[in-house]
A and B are shown apart, each in its own frame.
Chain A
């Protein structure tokens, strides 16, 4: 049963798909992937997210705009950098973020 919705922003399509696939292996998590700010804004119009992961290719300006977008929707959304490209760290990053939620 899905109870955590996770938005992932990254501009490397293959890595983005890998991250979403890994997130969706956990039946309690639902991952949605977007590749730029516009797509992120559209995703927020359609769905509510608990966590936003900023992956590869997200520059400081985009990070700042995404933070504003998150907090204007829900100040409680955790928005954080994802490192490593899905390999090894993803699970503990999400667990850690949700523990802070």
Chain B
């Protein structure tokens, strides 16, 4: 039986570059911990704050599924495929880097920070043609339910990626109880608490805590305060 793993908010790697403050759940850039490399195909979970007007200059990616979810502020994306886009809270961006792309990401606003989650998954296909996708999920019903925002299927809800993964997001009232049923019983579930306090199969979690588990099929989630929660269903192998 695979072990569940708790990543408290305080245990994350912290990188402070002045213009960028990044809390990193898994080993990234100069941080290396062999115990914190990945959760299945989930390789990067960075909680980034970028100062007004600043951002990531032109840099490459390949063979990775890259997802950005803004939580506060506005992020501007430009890439070598010719895409120019602005993403805001309530939107999700997915990029299949495949055979290689270059892109920039900047805070669109000069006078306020942008906070966003940067999530990378290993792809289940190498060297695919790069692609970009962006969806608005903000008008979907997330109140006391989990709204699907990512899947492996182009004709399903949310963005799609080259991996057997599903993401859901929900805003739960204090005291609300629900259960998440895995789409694929062989997958694991990585729970990230954007805000608030919850329990996942009895494991208490607070703001910015992460918890990876390998349930048989269903996970019980209970909110002990108002909570915003991201569920990432992730394959162990790919």
Which residues from chain A sit less than 8 Å from chain B, CB to CB? 10, 12, 14-15, 18, 55-59, 81, 83-89, 91-92, 95-96, 99
From residue 108 to 133 of chain B, which have CB atoms closer than 8 A to chain A?
120, 122, 126-127
What CA separation (Å) do A45 and B29 show in the bound complex? 32
B17 within 8 A of A: no
Q: How far is the CA of A96 from the CA of B62 in the complex (A)?
A: 20
* B120 surroundings in chain A (CB, below 8 A): 84, 88-89
CA distance A18 to B59 in the complex (A): 9
Identify the closest chain B residue to A57 (Cβ). Answer: B127
Q: Please, which residue of chain B has its CB at the minimum distance from the CB of A63?
A: B126
Cross-chain contact A96 with B122 (CB below 8 angstroms): no
B60 and A85 contacting across the interface, CB-CB below 8 Å = yes
CB distance from B163 to the nearest CB of A (A): 12
Between A83, A85, A88, the greatest number of chain B beta carbons within 10 A of the residue's beta carbon is seen for: A88
List residues of chain A with CB within 8 A of the CB of B19. Answer: none
* Interface CB pairs A-B, < 8 A, 6: A15-B62, A15-B100, A56-B62, A57-B99, A84-B62, A85-B62
Whether the pair A87, B60 counts as a contact (CB closer than 8 A) is: yes
Q: Hey, which chain B residues are within 8 Å of A10, CB to CB? A: 62
Chain B residue numbers with a CB within 8 Å of A86 are 59-60
Q: For the complex, what is the distance from the CA of A58 to the CA of B60, rounded to whole Å?
A: 17
Query: Which 8 interchain pairs have the tightest Cβ spacing?
Result: A85-B62, A56-B62, A92-B27, A85-B60, A12-B100, A92-B32, A95-B32, A85-B61
The reply to whether A56 and B64 contact each other, CB–CB distance below 8 Å, is no
CB neighbours of A91 from chain B (8 A): 29-30, 32
Alpha-carbon gap, A92 to B28, bound state (A): 7
B97 CB-CB contact with A under 8 Å: yes
A88 x B28 contact (CB < 8 A) = yes
A54 → B minimal CB distance (Å): 10
Task: Mark each residue of chain B from 34 to 57: 1 if its CB lies under 8 Å from any CB of chain A, else 0.
Answer: 100100000110000000000000
In the bound complex, what is the Cα–Cα distance between A83 and B31 (angstroms)? 17
How long is the Cα–Cα vector from A88 to B44 in the complex, in angstroms?
A: 9
Report the bound CA distance from A57 to B32 in whole Å: 26
Candidate in A15, A55, A59 with the most chain B CB atoms within 10 angstroms:
A15
Instruction: Please tell me if the beta carbons of B63 and A85 are within 8 angstroms of each other in the complex.
Output: yes
Contacting residues, chain A, for B102 (C-beta < 8 A):
14
Give the residue name and chain of the A residue nearest to B64 (CB).
Answer: A84
Given contacts A58-B126, A83-B122, A86-B60, list 5 more A-B pairs with CB under 8 A: A12-B60, A15-B100, A55-B62, A81-B63, A92-B29
